[in-house]
A and B are shown apart, each in its own frame.
Chain A
């Protein structure tokens, strides 16, 4: 099994930390992992993306051109990455702020309105965990128990009291993701 994922959105949406939690979850599941950010001078508001690879085998290139799954969280990233999903792959996107919806017919498209849901849960910070939940629902590459272990590893101890809230957000994401027909 090799799963090549790109997560792309605005800086501040938790794109990099979502990728980190996914990578840590992979470590907990004894997988090979790589996490490669596009780092830039931009912080909040700029574009941010991260390539995460989970595999049973040794990982060759951490930098890719095509992905099994693209998780897209703003319009710029949609414009950039829709065409880079492998045929038969998965595209997951948050509808918030998207004016040009994905049009490809050779991939499976899911929509998750995580921005809206995070607002409803009155916790903007859980946004990325809602998205992660949606992804794990449609592609359970890592077991939930390993995700929780991954969360513990990637969060500093002073934030461990937030783990139940994150778990709740992941579960909520699993409920609200929908396939776009």
Chain B
């Protein structure tokens, strides 16, 4: 019997975190993602699975608690929204530099600064280009439904542990606040200390035993030669992600003459735009990146060959469009359409933008 529930995206994140056996959540409330911790507090998983749920004194404290937990080989996560995620950037670059796995959820709101509490996608650059200092990348997943909010928690952990790299779920206020049907997976047990030592004992600080060397969690390396070598190692890891972890969905692309590229809530809006366009006889397809890093460069490049124009649609002033342009590499025109500051574009408005860019004049 499938267990179908109606819940908000933020609630789905919390439920999925418990069920995939997360060891710890550390966070600080901020709209529009406060339901993540609210749900965790209401569910009280410390009584059932033993998962720690802790409201830290700030976002900076949260991410450093995650750093500590991750260093011990634990499955740990945090969530916040844009201004809070900015505060976490120092911690994130340290975690990436120390090669530790963790999951960070960003339910994006409009910026810059304290901005607005309404949805936006203007943290794309911050998520996929690093965010903090240094040459590092976050594995970045973009859920477009409440079901994916649930499913991507475990996926993000799997990828984070596979590559020993922080993973980000880049959502927004629409997906966080909306309710849809969700099927939750059955409860998985948390890993025992013995299992953690067996699986991650070669790097995690699980307590040194006589028969192994010390594990050191650090991001500091004062020898430039060693630091360059370490950077080569990181880059090789990111290259492997680009080769093996690209995920995307293509909708009505087979015969598409025009292509929309959109992720997250914009992709949902664009799906309706495709329906509206096709009803008018315009052959439009949608490519939805599911991983924003690694970005689906090859599939976009392939589709560019058959299309007369590509419209990148984001709730930002134009960030992902740069990656779309790099993927297309000039073989077909690429334009951007976006609303920002908390305004959500309507499907009809996207269709008008497509027409005015490629079909008129």
A residues whose Cβ falls under 8 Å from a Cβ of B: 20, 23-24, 27, 32-37, 39-41, 59-66, 153
How far is it, in angstroms, between the C-alpha of A39 and the C-alpha of B270 when the chains are bound?
Answer: 22
Tell yes or no: B45 within 8 A of A by CB: no
Tell yes or no: B180 within 8 A of A by CB: yes
Tell me if B268 and A60 are in contact (CB < 8 A). yes
Q: Which of A23, A37, A41, A60 contacts B272 (CB 8 A)?
A: A60
Closest-CB distance, A2 to chain B (whole angstroms): 10
Q: Which of B6, B174, B274, B347 contacts A64 (CB 8 A)?
A: B347
Tell me if A61 and B347 are in contact (CB < 8 A). yes
Closest-CB distance, A43 to chain B (whole angstroms): 13
Report chain A residues within 8 Å CB of B32.
39
Tell me if A63 and B179 are in contact (CB < 8 A). no
Q: Mark B272-312, 1 if CB is under 8 A from A, else 0.
A: 11110000000000000000000000000000000000000
Q: Mark B305-328, 1 if CB is under 8 A from A, else 0.
A: 000000000000000000000000
Known interface pairs A33-B6, A60-B268, A62-B174; A23-B179 also in contact (CB < 8 Å): yes
Q: Is chain B's interface secondary structure helix, strand, loop, or mixed overall?
A: helix
Known interface pairs A24-B6, A41-B117, A65-B349; A60-B178 also in contact (CB < 8 Å): no
Report chain B residues within 8 Å CB of A34.
178-180
B residues whose Cβ falls under 8 Å from a Cβ of A: 4, 6, 31-32, 117-118, 173-174, 177-181, 265, 268-275, 344, 346-349
How far is it, in angstroms, between the C-alpha of A23 and the C-alpha of B349 when the chains are bound?
Answer: 26
Report chain A residues within 8 Å CB of B270.
61
Known: A33-B179, A63-B346, A153-B6. 7 other contacts (CB 8 A): A32-B181, A34-B179, A36-B174, A39-B32, A40-B118, A61-B270, A62-B178
Contact sample, A vs B, 17 pairs, CB 8 Å cutoff: A20-B179, A24-B6, A27-B6, A27-B181, A32-B181, A37-B177, A37-B178, A39-B31, A39-B117, A60-B268, A60-B269, A61-B273, A62-B178, A62-B265, A63-B265, A63-B269, A65-B349
How far is it, in angstroms, between the C-alpha of A40 and the C-alpha of B342 when the chains are bound?
Answer: 11
